[in-house]
Amino acid sequence: MMGQDDWTLMQQVARGDEAAVEELYDRFATLVFKVARQLLPSKSEAEDSVQEIFIRLWQTADRYDPRRAKLVTWVMLIARRHLIDQLRRQSIRPAIGGYEDDWSNTPATDQPTSQPETAEHNERLMKRLEDLPELQRTVIERTYLQGYTLREVSEQLEAPLGTIKSALSRGLGRLRDNASSDWVG
């Protein structure tokens, strides 16, 4: 059966098996933290959210269906849902280009040891966004980076929902294509 190991793992997580929870953390915590850090204004909030997300993963573990999605997709979906809910509850939205802003204002203890390399990577990402057509860039910024729904963005930009959806799909595709070409060679 496809995804048998992942399904078995999640069934064990659902039963509260310690080793299974540890494996789940070891496999996905970095990704979960990255998306949390991306959406939340501070590192400490991101860390707190990771804790809550893994609680949520345990609570929903028995609903995982490997036919519908790979486990990593499921985990990231649960993570994003939690984070968007959190943003809505707090009525906050991350600032665009917040990585560099946050680092310039955060205490030295919170800064990553490889800051120059990280900052360079983010400059590339932000530059890549700037290279997109304006609508695609705006839609990606507002949905993917700030957590607005497509409907909200459609209303904000006074554009048809179908247009917004197409812009997001195409924009994400171009971001990935551009990233691949940047890293070749």
Partner 1 sequence: MTPPPPSSSMMPPTRLIDLAALDAFDLLDEYEAEIYTRSFHHAPASVQEEIRRIQAELVTDAALLCTDEPPADLRRRVLKHVNSAIEKDGSRYAPLATIGAGGRDDRNGRSSRLPVMPTLYVWRAATFVLAGVAVLLLLMMTLTQQHANQVTQWALNNLTSDQLQRYIGPDFRTFFFNHGTRHHVFLNPDDPNDTAQAVLLINEQNGQAFLIVDHMPNFSNGAEYTVSVVLGDDGDHRINLHRFEFQGNLVSLQLDVSHVPDIAAARWEITGPDGYVLVA
Q: Which is nearer to partner 1, 138 or 143 (CB)?
A: 143
Q: Which of 6, 9, 10, 58 binds partner 1 (CB under 8 A)?
A: 58
42 binds partner 1 (CB under 8 A): no
Angle 177-179-184 from CA coordinates, rounded to 5°: 95
Count other C-beta atoms under 10 Å from residue 8's C-beta: 13
Q: Count the alpha carbons within 13 Å of 120 in the hemisphere toward its beta carbon.
A: 5
Q: By CB under 8 A, is residue 95 in contact with partner 1?
A: no
Task: Tell the smallest beta-carbon distance from residue 54 to partner 1 (Å).
Answer: 5
154 counts as binding partner 1 under rule CB under 8 A? no
Return the ∠ at Cα 126 (arms to 144 and 161), rounded to 5°. Answer: 35
> Is 9 among the residues that bind partner 1 (CB under 8 A)?
no
User: Is 46:33 a contact under the CB 8 Å cutoff?
Assistant: yes
Reading phi first (left if > 0) and then psi (alpha if -120 to 50, else beta), residue 117 is in: alpha
Q: What are the residues binding partner 1 (CB under 8 A)? A: 14-18, 21-22, 25-26, 29-31, 33-35, 37-38, 43, 46-47, 50-51, 54-55, 58, 62-63, 65, 67-70, 72-73, 76-77, 80-81, 84, 99, 112, 117-118, 121-122, 125, 128, 143-144, 149-151, 165, 168-169, 172-173, 175-176, 178-179
